[in-house]
Copies of this chain bind each other. A is one copy, B any other.
Amino acid sequence: MIRIKFEILEETINKVFLRQGIEPGKSELLAKIMSESSLDGFQSHGINRVPMMVEYIRKDFIKPGNEMFQIGGNNLYKQFDGNFGIGPINAWNSTTEVMRIANENGLGLVALRNNNHWQRAGTYGWKAANEGFILICWTNTIPNLPPYGSKKNLVGNNPLVIAIPRKGGNIVLDMAMSQFSYGKIASYARRNKELPEFGGYDENNNLTKDAQAIRKKGRHLPIGFWKGSSLSFILDIVAAILSGGNTTRIIGEKGVDTGLSQIFIAIDPSKFGDSGFREALITQTIEQFKSVSIKEGSDIRYPGEATLRRRKENLGKGIPLEEEIWEKVNGYL
């Protein structure tokens, strides 16, 4: 593990994408989004994803020159076609647009089809909360999670984001439907460590904390057994029907994580009451959480708290990266 300064990571990723022929404005935004994911500790959707994005650009799954365009809507909701452009940039622009609508009207909705992978879901929640908006957003993806009891992956590990702005630190839930991310399970498997809770099934279809066994079997646990797979199913359907786009089933047929459907709902909380009331309510709840200790030196965290903590630490000390991936990314230059 090495530590790299945020600015250096951002500049390096920017250069890599410029070398892929992405125009400067897009390349800078994409580098910012991906290096911020790394800064926040989400390497799996930060620097670790750069090689896959390069590959997808080279294979023409991602078409960096393409712009998203409107296909329907009114002044309150808009439907866009992502045109298979750069996923995080389309999602970023959709977030900007839905906030603009909410700023005018109190709330707004954007449905986006044919987008590429938006990388870290939380990116859009943090952006909206930083600018004072509540954001509810989600995406579908390839079938990579089994419905409860099934041996076959039929639902997507569709992340759901709910973000609330707060002066004392935004609340940002960024929740995928599997108990542990694949990145986390891989990391536990590499270190030969047991997961802190059950994370999937072993060869004999028993629930297990053994990360290697879960990887071998390929049956990850959806959160709450049938509940997580049902939530995943319904988020998929809503995203597809509102955007006029693909469901997880159709994305699975293509075999590539492209042509996704995404939903963005923004609410302007300043129109619903004053910020003092809001801050007080949230702070009281957090304080109550903090008064209940789990074990020595540990406490109950609110969604986004650990992210903010890592961000601060990594801004100071540099971002911890695996040397191998750092070299690989530099190899594109």
Contact = CB atoms under 8 A, between A and B. Distances in A.
Given A224-B179, A224-B224, A241-B273, A173 B107 contact: no
A13 interface: no
Copies in the complex: 2
Interface stretch (A23-31, A34-42, A60-68, A275-283): A275-283
Interface residues of A, number: 71
Contacts of A119: none
A286 B284 CA distance: 44
Nearest to A151: B292
A329 interface: no
Nearest to A176: B227
Contacts of A227: 175, 179, 223-224
A115 B180 CA distance: 36
A225 B162 CA distance: 18
A219 to B, nearest CB: 13
Contacts of A255: none
A237 interface: yes
Contact of A249 (B134, B273, B284, B302): B284
Contacts of A231: 162, 173, 175
Interface string A177-220: 00100000000000000000110000000010000000000000
A145 interface: no
A144 B207 CA distance: 27
